[in-house]
Amino acid sequence: MGVSRFRGAAAMALAALVLSACTTSGGSQSGAVTSGRSNSSALYISALQGGIVSRAAVKLTNSELQRALEAEYRALEAAPGFQPVAWTGQNVSGQVVAAAPYQVGQQNCRQYLHTLSVKGRQIEARGAACRNPNGTWTPLT
């Protein structure tokens, strides 16, 4: 458990470093992680608690995990319903597709699917997350 937490913390630190320099193009809804909030991007990634990609039982490098979690966040936050958000790593690639948002109390929630391609094999993880007032997304268990 201690090693797992260390890896998670290391992945989050790497995500914060990489995401702090991210920019996007293609319009205001193109999936920017945090417009004007680059210093707090680690908050958005860490709030996903490893995302549903962690449920796929696929070993990812820190870089691949960061890309996968960023794709999950972009799909949840800004992608129109059923529009894939793709990412590519060195040995694995994936895409995240979020369904249309729905309300649970005062929160916007979305179901989503993360499909990974590993050596020609497709692995799927499904889940749902709800948006918090601070803009982060928390997966439902």
pLDDT band at 100 (very low <50, low <70, confident <90, very high): very high
Secondary structure class of 7 (helix, strand, coil): helix
Q: What is the pLDDT of residues 52-88, one digit of tens each?
A: 999 999 999 999 999 999 999 999 999 999 999 999 9
Query: Is the pLDDT reported for residue 39 higher than 90?
Result: no
**pLDDT tens digit sequence for 101-133:** 999 999 999 999 999 999 999 999 999 999 999
Q: Rounded distance, CA 46 to CA 41, Å?
A: 9
Give the helix ranges, DSSP H, for the chain: 2-19, 41-46, 62-77
Give the pair of three-digit tokens for residue 121: 């094999």
Confidence category of residue 40, pLDDT binned at 50, 70, 90: low
Q: In this predicted structure, what is the pLDDT of residue 141? A: 79
Alpha-carbon distance 26 to 104, whole Å? 30
